[in-house]
Amino acid sequence: MKKTAILLIIMLLSASGEAFSQIPVSLKGKNRTTGDVITVNKVIRPAGRLSVQTAPDLVTGRIETIPYPELRKYDIVPTDIESLWQIKMLDSQIYDGLLKSGYSYDLRYAMEEMMREFMSKAEQNNSFYIDSYLESRLYGILRMVYPVRHPDKRPGVLSLRILSDIVPDAWVGPDGTMVITTGMITAVNSEAEMMALMAQEVAHFALDHHLSNFNNLMLIMTEPALGNLIRYTSKQELVADQCAVSVLKFYRMDPAVLASMLRKVLAAGELMGNFYIGSTNGFFPDAATRAASIQDTAVWFSAEYEKMIAPVISYNAFSAYSQSQYLLCRQLLDRNIASGVATPDDMVLLSQAMMNLSGSDQEDENALAVVRSVTGTLQEPSPGAFKQEALLLLKLGRRGEAEKALDRCDEALDREEQKYSSMSGDWSQMLSYLASEKEWVARTRSR
């Protein structure tokens, strides 16, 4: 309660500070009646009401001040992504609030501190997924969605980090850092859907929803935390959806891609048994209702995107298997097979998932065929491939074949042991693991 009181004092002290008399913009408009073309270069608030100011007329030098309600007479068409967002922030009263109440730098700093704490803990826990190529591709999409920083003196630099988590989620922190999970990356099948996701999440950052949530929490004497700053009301989500649609239309993309993204998130959650994800309080609030409001008949799929994220698919598949999410593991690996990029390790893992999902000898035979696509074709398969083959053969009661698979597993372990023993550096953990696997082979022979 003491910390809440301190934050409330900060909120009250900062509410009236750091005000600016104008906000620079760059907008073009055409009067529907007269055909006059104007260039708006400032947003101002003279006499307590929001207005815009035009650039000097090239002939007369005249500068015109137009009250905000009068802008309805003009068609304001964005010429680039920055001007699109300027229109959104003008219409949503963001600029009016900044000119009226100031920029609340103290509150913004308090929110950024929360984000820095989250990022520090994530770094310490090695929670970030590192893939420079993938990040560069995602940054390419992000830069199409929004400028690097706010052009209106608000703090924040739009950046991106990938979080290791099979649950689909994405959000932009108060400092402008977009956090996107590996599960979100594999929940969709195209860069178009990724753009829809980013545009929707960035809208919360652009429209100051974090600050609004912070203020609302303080007014009800609830201590703000990062988790309740990045979970939004139904109204905020609707506004963000509308912004995403505008971004998609600006790039001449079908707005239905937003609905496709939401439906695929729900499908991923359903596969995991996670029905919270699309609930009213979930990561994607009321996703089904929001998706249904957008007509969606197209199938969004990019073979290039699937190949680009193949390493993430493999990574998530392993994580899913480790968490007993065998259905998700199998679905992910099937995608790599369909893309023609499945690795031998993918095939072994797929066989393991199939075995754990199996309810019949035929399904075990299918899993055996998958692992034998590795043990029967590679010159030196991994010990794990032979181990999986042996387990399936034992489950099927084919002990003679299982004995041969165990022999080959032993041989593969010997090769690995020789390799790591001859390498410089400390490989004691790997050698200890190989020794434990050899013990497993010995125990299995005696059973």
Q: Based on the domain organization, do 97 and 138 belong to the same domain?
A: no
pTM for this model (two decimals): 0.93
Q: Based on the domain organization, do 158 and 234 belong to the same domain?
A: yes
Give the chain's domain count: 3
Q: Based on the domain organization, do 165 and 220 belong to the same domain?
A: yes
Q: Based on the domain organization, do 196 and 227 belong to the same domain?
A: yes
Question: Quick one: pLDDT at residue 19?
Answer: 62
Q: Among 157, 174, 50, 158, which residue's Cα sits nearest to residue 104? A: 174
Q: Among 239, 264, 244, which residue's Cα sits nearest to residue 254? A: 244
Q: Based on the domain organization, do 64 and 124 belong to the same domain?
A: no
Question: Quick one: pLDDT at residue 16?
Answer: 46
Q: Based on the domain organization, do 157 and 283 belong to the same domain?
A: yes
DSSP 70: G
Residue 408 lies in a domain: yes
Question: Quick one: pLDDT at residue 296?
Answer: 74
**Structural tokens at position 358:** 């199996």
Of 36, 66, 101, the last residue of a domain is 101
Cα-Cα end-to-end distance for the chain: 62
Of 79, 101, 123, the last residue of a domain is 101
CATH of the domain at 374: 1.25.40.10
- H helix or E strand, kind and range, residue 311: helix 310-322
Residue 303 lies in a domain: no
The ranges of the chain with pLDDT < 50 are 1, 6, 13, 15-17
Range of the domain at 44: 22-101
User: What percent of the chain has a predicted confidence (pLDDT) above 70?
Assistant: 96
CA–CA distance, 45 with 51 (Å, rounded to integer): 6
Q: Based on the domain organization, do 200 and 279 belong to the same domain?
A: yes
Question: Quick one: pLDDT at residue 302?
Answer: 97
Q: Based on the domain organization, do 49 and 129 belong to the same domain?
A: no
Q: Based on the domain organization, do 382 and 437 belong to the same domain?
A: yes
> β-pairing, 22-31 with 74-76?
antiparallel
Q: Based on the domain organization, do 87 and 112 belong to the same domain?
A: no
Q: Among 126, 435, 441, 440, which residue's Cα sits nearest to residue 427? A: 435
Buried b or exposed e, range 77-113, using 16+ CB within 10 angstroms: ebeebebbbbbbbbebebbbbbbeebbbebbbebbbe
Question: Quick one: pLDDT at residue 372?
Answer: 98
Q: Based on the domain organization, do 117 and 264 belong to the same domain?
A: yes
Residue 306 lies in a domain: no
Residue 308 lies in a domain: no
CA of 428: how far to CAs of 420, 435, 437, in Å?
9, 10, 14
Question: Quick one: pLDDT at residue 1?
Answer: 45
Task: For tokens 């309810």, name the residue.
Answer: 359
Residue 219 lies in a domain: yes
Question: Quick one: pLDDT at residue 98?
Answer: 96
Q: Among 155, 238, 161, 314, which residue's Cα sits nearest to residue 170? A: 161
